[in-house]
Amino acid sequence: MSLAQNPLSVEVTLPREDVALVTVEGHLDLDTATDLQAHLANQLHHGRRHFLLDLSAVPFMDSSGMNIILRVYQEARGLPGSVHVIAPTPAVRRVLDLTGVSLTVPISEKVDEALELVDRQQLSDGPQD
Amino acid sequence: MSIPAQPTEPGEGRDLPVPAGEQPGPVEGVSPPEPEGAATPSPVGRLAATVDRLRREVLEAQAEADGRALVELAKGILVERLGCGPSEAAQQLSVLAGQSGLSPLEFAVDVINQAAKDRVSEVTQAFLAAVGKPEDPAEQSAAVRLRAAESGALAAAHDTQAVADSLLQHALGPLGAVAVAIWAAGSDGSLTLAGSAGFSPGEAERWRYVPPDVATVARSGLTEGATLWIESLALTGLPTIGRHLHPDGGRAAVPAGSAGRVDGILEIAWPAPLDRQPPQVVRQVEALADLCAHTLQAYAHVRGPDQEPLVLPDTAELMDLTDGLHDPALVLVPHVDAAGKLVDFRIQHVNDRFLDPAGRPRAVVNGALLLEAYPMAAGGGDLFQRIERVHATGEPFRARRMSLTALVGEVPLAAVADLSISRHGSCVLLIWRIEDESARLASLLQNAQRLGRIGGFEEDLLTGETTWNGQLFTLYGRPESSPPVPLEDLAAHTHPDDAVVVGRLLRTLLHGRRPASAAFRLQRPDGVTRHMRIVAEPVLDTDERLVAVRGAYQDISSQHWTEVALAATRDQLAQSEQHASERSRLALQLQHAIMPPTRAPLEAPGLQVAVRYRPAEEEHLVGGDWYDAVVLPSRLVMLCVGDVAGHGIEAATSMVVLRNALRGLAVTGAGPGQLLSWLNIVAHHLTGSITATAVCGLYDPSRHTLRWARAGHLPPVLVRDAQATPLPLLKGMLLGAVPETVYEEEEVQLAADDTLLMYTDGLIERRDRSVEESLTQLLVQARTVPPTLDQQLDRLLTYSRSDTDDDTCIVGIRLR
């Protein structure tokens, strides 16, 4: 029902070998969250460490969507890696702020911005490897 | 299995063969076989001899017992003739035996022969005269043997097999015969092996039934109508039981019957070709056949211990006939006692139309003795006497409107029926047609009584007699010895308010002559009040006169509890049918146990606290919302709402952990920010990596301040002067997402009549709107301030615009 009305579209590109840019379009809620989770799990499986989630085309996100972001965040943190949210709509931004997720998951307005953060992190993480 | 008989030694002809298959002994192949011709008998041989000896001892013991029976019989005759006591008679018997030079047994037989003057005594005397010395080395004369055989036969009137054994042992063995078979003749000409001796069990089993028109030795005897003597089986070529044992042996087939009716055949086997027998032997054999006829007549209703009922074919035909009748019919066979006296009839068969007047299942009546099943048959109606007479004379009995009485429970139930009694062969056919539906009603009554603690009654209005069954005395709490309470006096035993009901019942029943029922409170003599229902109906005779009232009382006091128990069982069933639903219910119960949907307002100085919890409507969506409001030892009031992500039992159990953890942590006196950061550690280490949101505040009653922090949860809403505003969005990560985090803290100063609301997103969540919009909607609602805090929370729940069916918690505080 909700799936038919608000189908979720997920596209994955690889700006770097270990960076997955995941572009999501549609409502991210209880009905669609597992869809996104499947894509993210697949990328994790293929060795991506950094996840850039472009949510500019997500008008609504509930706690299910947010839990997916938190889950991939927890997975990536241990690699080590990172999760970035790019260009969230105000409603989604509000949820991220409300739940405090924005305190942990950096929010960028552009993909380049996020990639820069990734590079910076890799530099600081590098010597530890 | 075929068990060949062992060759018998001369003079041991009456000994039963030892079945080879039963010989115990060393298992073949275990011990080496004894060399042939060894002087010592083989172990097998020794064991066989032991078995043989033991068997002989058993037979001797039996013979002795039979002999004792004869001595007892003779003693009885002496008691009667001499008018003396039993001990005197015993003494007399031994004295007289000594005087006449006979053994006590022989003398006893003489006494019996004298007294009986029957065919056996005639035959024995003739036999003794002709044969002279008996061949039997035992000290038994032919007369003793015949009487012993007769005694055995009579004692075993129902057991044709035992009769066969007795005949062979006592009477025919001494004549050189080795085996005997007693055939029961069917009306269709078939033969059924009713008993045999001297043949192996396997052979007897093979010959248990000979269909009509199959030519056998016994069948030839049947068609002949007179004793058939066969010199040697080999010469006739007729098949028969045990033929292979002694293919050249002689046979005799003697018709057994009385009054021109042949009941069966006595077949006797000799091991060797038979010479022409002297007339004495012929007559002796015929006398034995008479004995057989006696038992064959009673044979029809004899059942083997674990066999199909053995039934003479004529009975079977009658049973078929009754099944075609449109009225209830019973096939009765005479039941005789050990002395051959008719004592009762066995109900051999009841047809499909048969309905027990007492309402018992057909199978209970089938096979029972008539007087046991219907004790009242012997009473007033003369039914039993009629049947007995028809059986004796063969003259059929027909009657219209005969009164029959059956016991329902212990209440005699009268019915009027048309009767037909007739004799068919050895059986009696009883047909009745009951005029009204009494039988059917009785059946209903009987079943109802059994099922529902029902007491039955009948009142004869002509005699004024009231009859109760035992159950009714129990229901009334009265001893069975006390007089029953007639219906007229019922009102005196009921609650005064029920007098009208009882009065109406009596009027319908006695005046209106219609069935009636009523419910009332029975006041028992022991002071107990029971709820009763009475159902009663009038009984009218053919002239439409009211002659009786019958009915039943039922104690319905326990019915209510039965229904409750039933409902509980149904609930359990539904739960176990769906495990998922059970778990959801459990989650809900957990929620309810910890947080009742509403609770008495918590009182703190100058502060009103109220809480609301509304579980999701769909049970599987019930989840992890919680609230808490508790006064801490520091006099601070801790307020909290939280929401564990997910639904069902896992979310609910996590909720319990977090809620209790927070309560425990709060006792340390730490501030809300610190409490949440500890709670975050708890959540992070919970199995299943759960996340949760929460808002936590500590109210200080002395300063009217609320210090609060939030963990990913919606901030509280402050309602002041009809204006609702959310508190600022303090920094605070939701619980469980990261191992460690800190929470921003803020203090808000509250004034009199201020209301502060904490809530979970079930209150505002909508799919089509942002959190912002929903919150605005809530703020508009919250602006309306009803007089009490409870009303305010109820109003918020009622007018919530939420469209997701989620749990909802609200905690509200209002300053006084």
Question: Domain span at residue A85?
Answer: 2-110
Sheet holding B717-720, edge to edge: B602-604, B607-614, B808-815, B755-759, B717-720, B723-726
pLDDT digits (tens, 9 = 90+) for A29-44: 878 888 888 889 888 8
Is residue A54 situated within a structural domain? yes
DSSP state at residue B765:
-
| Residue B660: pLDDT over 80 | yes
Residue B178 to residue B8: CA distance in whole angstroms: 9
Name the token pair of B530.
């029971």
The answer to whether the CB of B691 falls within 8 A of the CB of A67 is: yes
Size of interface A-B (CB pairs under 8 A): 57
Decide: helix, strand or coil at residue A99.
coil
B771 interfacial to chain A (CB closer than 8 Å): yes
pLDDT at A25: 92
Instruction: Using alpha carbons, select from B773, B770, B766 the residue that is nearest to residue A90.
Output: B770
Give A96→chain B minimum CA distance, Å.
9
**A63, A91, A104 member nearest B738 (Cβ):** A104
* Structure tokens belonging to residue B28: 């073949």
Q: What is the pLDDT at residue A83? A: 93
- Residues of B within 8 A of A67 (CB-CB) are 645, 691
Least CB-CB distance to B770: which of A29, A91, A97?
A: A91
From B244, B93, B80, B280, select the one nearest B171 (Cα to Cα): B280
Q: What is the mean pLDDT of residues B683-704?
A: 87
Spell out the alpha helix ranges (H) of chain A: 2-5, 33-45, 63-77, 90-98, 111-125
Domain ranges of chain B: 118-301, 313-435, 452-560, 594-815
Question: What is residue B123's three-state secondary structure?
Answer: helix
Does residue B610 surpass a pLDDT of 70?
A: yes
Residue-wise pLDDT for B277-328, tens only, equals 777 778 778 878 877 776 776 554 443 333 444 445 567 788 888 888 888 8
Q: Closest partner residue to B691 among A27, A67, A91, by Cβ?
A: A67
Query: Per-residue confidence at B187, pLDDT binned at 50, 70, 90?
Result: low
Q: B733 contacts in A (CB within 8 Å)?
A: 99-101, 103-104
Classify residue B416 as exposed, middle or buried by CB count within 10 Å of its CB (0-12, 13-18, 19+). middle
| Whole-number Cα distances in Å, A18 to A22, A114, A122, B129 | 13, 14, 11, 130
Q: What is the CATH architecture of B594-815? A: 4-Layer Sandwich (3.60)
Contact: B771, A91; criterion CB under 8 Å: yes
Q: Which amino acid is at B522?
A: L
B244 touching A (Cβ < 8 Å): no
- Lowest-confidence segment of A22-31, A47-56, B33-42 by average pLDDT: B33-42
* Residue given tokens 């039943």 in the structure block: B552
Q: How many residues does chain A have?
A: 129
The verdict on residue A122 lying in a domain is no
Among B246-250, B376-380, B601-605, top mean pLDDT goes to B246-250
Is residue B564 packed enough to be buried (19+ CB in 10 Å), middle (13-18) or exposed (0-12)?
Answer: exposed
**pLDDT at B490 exceeding the cut of 70:** yes
Mean pLDDT of B560-566: 55
| Average pLDDT score, chain B | 75
Is residue A116, in this structure, part of any structural domain at all?
A: no
Q: Who contacts B692 (Cβ-Cβ below 8 Å, separation ≥6)?
A: B624, B642, B643, B644, B645, B654, B655, B658, B683, B711, B734, B735, B736
What tokens does B217 get?
A: 């030795």
Predicted pLDDT of residue B48 = 63
Among B494, B806, B396, residue whose Cα is nearest residue B622: B806
Neighbours of B764 (CB within 10 A): 23
Residue A11 lies in a domain: yes
In B435-574, at which residue ranges do the beta strands (DSSP E only) sit? 454-460, 465-468, 516-523, 529-540, 546-555
Of B712, B767, B772, the CB nearest to A100: B712
Tally of structural domains, chain A:
1
List residues of A whose CB lies inside 8 A of any B CB. 2, 27, 29, 60, 62-63, 67, 70-71, 73-74, 90-91, 94-95, 97-101, 103-104
Strands A19-25 and A50-57: parallel
Q: Using the beta-carbon criterion (under 8 Å), do B734 and A104 form an inter-chain contact?
A: no
Say yes or no to pLDDT of A100 above 60: yes
Among B49-58, B403-412, B501-510, whose mean pLDDT is lowest?
Answer: B403-412
Average pLDDT of chain A, as a whole number: 85
Q: Is B240 left (phi over 0), alpha (psi -120 to 50) or beta?
A: beta
Q: Is pLDDT at B265 greater than 60 in this prediction?
A: yes
Question: Average of pLDDT values for B70-98?
Answer: 73
In this predicted structure, the answer to whether residue B447 has a pLDDT above a threshold of 60 is no
The Cα–Cα gap between A92 and A53 comes to 12
CATH number of the CATH domain containing A82: 3.30.750.24
For residue B767, what is the nearest residue in chain A, using CA coordinates? Answer: A60
- CB contacts of A103 in chain B (<8 Å) are 731, 733, 741
The strand pair at B623-631 and B705-711 is best described as unpaired
B685 touches chain A (CB under 8 A): no
- pLDDT surpassing 60 at residue B119: no
B728 touches chain A (CB under 8 A): no
- Residue B732 touches chain A, beta carbons under 8 Å: yes
Asked if residue B223 has pLDDT above 80, the reply is: no
| Greater pLDDT, A52 or B423 | A52
Q: Which one is predicted more confidently, B621 or A51? A: A51
Answer yes or no: do B737 and A70 touch at CB < 8 A.
Answer: yes
| Range with top average pLDDT, B17-21, B488-492, B596-600 | B488-492
The pLDDT of residue B638 = 92
Q: Quickly state the pLDDT bin for A5 (edges 50, 70, 90).
A: low
Yes or no, beta carbons of A99 and B712 under 8 Å apart: yes
In a domain, A118, yes or no: no
- Closest residue of chain A to B694, computed from CA coordinates: A99
B805: nearest Cα among B663, B619, B662: B619
CA dihedral angle for residue B795, residue B796, residue B802, residue B808, rounded to 10 degrees: -110
Cβ distance of B712 and A104 shorter than 8 Å: no
Asked if the structure places residue A102 within a domain, the reply is yes
Lookup: tokens for B269: 């086997």
| Pairing of the two strands A107-108 and A82-86 | parallel
Residue B697 distance to chain A (closest CA, Å): 17
Confidence of residue B614 (pLDDT cuts 50, 70, 90): confident
| B contact test, residue of A99, A104, A105 with most B CBs within 10 A | A99
Strand order in the sheet with B261-269: B209-210, B191-197, B179-185, B261-269, B251-258, B228-230
pLDDT at B446 exceeding the cut of 70: no
Given pLDDT bands bounded at 50, 70 and 90, which one contains residue B212? Answer: confident
Residue B708 predicted with pLDDT over 80:
yes
SS3 assignment, position B268: strand
Q: Do the domains B594-815 and B118-301 match in fold?
A: no
Residue type, A96: L
Cα separations (Å) of B208 from B153, B192, B223, B329, B358? 21, 6, 20, 30, 39
Q: Residue B294 and residue B138: Cα distance in Å, rounded? A: 28
In a domain, A127, yes or no: no
pLDDT of residue B17: 43
Interchain contact, B771 vs A94, CB within 8 Å: yes
Class of domain B452-560: alpha beta
CB within 8 Å: A98 and B765 = no
* pLDDT the model gives residue B305: 37
B3 within 8 A of B200, measured Cβ to Cβ? yes
Contacts of A60 in chain B (CB under 8 A): 767-768, 770
Residues 21 through 80 of chain B touching chain A, CB cutoff 8 Å: none
| Mean pLDDT, rounded, for A92-102 | 88
Find the CB nearest B691 among A60, A70, A95. A70
3-state SS string for B245-260: CCCCCCEEEEEEEECC
Q: How close, in Å, is residue B625 to chain A by CA atoms?
A: 14
* Over residues B113-129, mean pLDDT: 53
Whole-angstrom CA distances from B30 to B36, B38, B40 are 17, 19, 19
What local confidence, expressed as pLDDT, does residue B508 receive? 85
- Smallest CA–CA distance, residue A28 to chain B, in Å, is 10
Closest residue in A to B689 (Cα) is A71
Q: Percentage of chain A surpassing pLDDT 90?
A: 25
Answer whether A103 sits within 8 Å of B770, measured CB to CB: no
Q: What is residue B813's DSSP assignment?
A: E
Disruptive mutation site among B643, B733, B764, B805 for chain A (greatest number of A CBs within 10 Å): B733
Report the pLDDT averaged over residues B654-661. Answer: 86
Q: Are B669 and B703 in contact (CB under 8 A)?
A: no
Which residue of A lies nearest to B769 if distances are taken between CA atoms? Answer: A60
- Percentage of the residues of chain B whose pLDDT score is greater than 90: 8
Per-residue pLDDT band for A23 (boundaries 50, 70, 90) equals: very high
* Residue B195 parent element (H or E): strand B191-197
Determine the Cα–Cα distance for residues B273 and B615; give it in Å rounded to an integer.
Answer: 103
CA B462 to CA B388: how far, in whole Å? 32
pLDDT confidence of residue B20? 43
Query: Residue B141 — pLDDT band, cuts 50, 70, 90?
Result: low
- Output the pLDDT for position B531: 81
ipTM: 0.80
Taking contacts as CB-CB distances below 8 angstroms, the residues of chain A near B683 are none
Q: Determine contact: B741 vs chain A, CB below 8 A.
A: yes
* Lowest-confidence segment of B24-33, B312-321, B516-525, B769-778 by average pLDDT: B24-33
Q: Closest-CA residue in chain A for B643?
A: A63
Contact flag A97-B741 (C-beta cutoff 8 Å): no
Model confidence at B1, pLDDT cuts 50, 70, 90, reads: very low
pLDDT, position A128: 45
Q: What is the pLDDT of residue A52?
A: 93
Which residue in this structure is represented by tokens 């009211």? B546
| DSSP letter, residue B545 | -
Nearest Cβ partner of B767 from A29, A67, A90?
A: A29
**CB–CB contact A99 B767 (8 Å):** no
Phi, psi (rounded to 5 degrees) for B167? -60, -45
CA dihedral B395, B396, B401, B402 (to 10 degrees): 60
CB A88 within 8 A of CB A96: yes
CATH superfamily of B313-435: PAS domain (3.30.450.20)
Q: How many percent of chain B have pLDDT more than 70?
A: 66
Does residue A21 belong to any structural domain of this protein?
A: yes
| Chain-centroid distance, C-alpha B482 | 34
B153, B154, B211: which is closest to B183 by C-alpha?
B211
Reported pTM? 0.41
More confident residue, B761 or A104: A104
Whether the pLDDT of residue B11 is over 60: the answer is no
Write out the DSSP string of B576-610.
Answer: HH-HHHHHHHHHHHHHHHHS-SB-PPEEETTEEEE
Q: How far apart are the first and last CA of chain B?
A: 104
pLDDT at B60: 67
Reported as a single tens digit per residue, the pLDDT across B349-399 is: 888 888 776 667 777 788 888 888 777 676 655 788 888 877 776 678 888
Q: Which amino acid is at B462?
A: L
> Treating both helix axes as pointing N-terminal to C-terminal, what angle do B142-155 and B43-82 enclose, rounded to 10 degrees?
90
Strand, coil or helix: what is B143? helix
Q: For A26, left (φ over 0), alpha (ψ -120 to 50), or beta?
A: left
Which residues of chain B have a CB within 8 Å of the CB of A72?
none
Q: Domain B118-301 belongs to what topology?
A: Beta-Lactamase (3.30.450)
Residue A107's pLDDT band (cuts 50, 70, 90): very high
Strand order in B623-631's β-sheet? Answer: B623-631, B637-647, B692-700, B705-711, B745-749
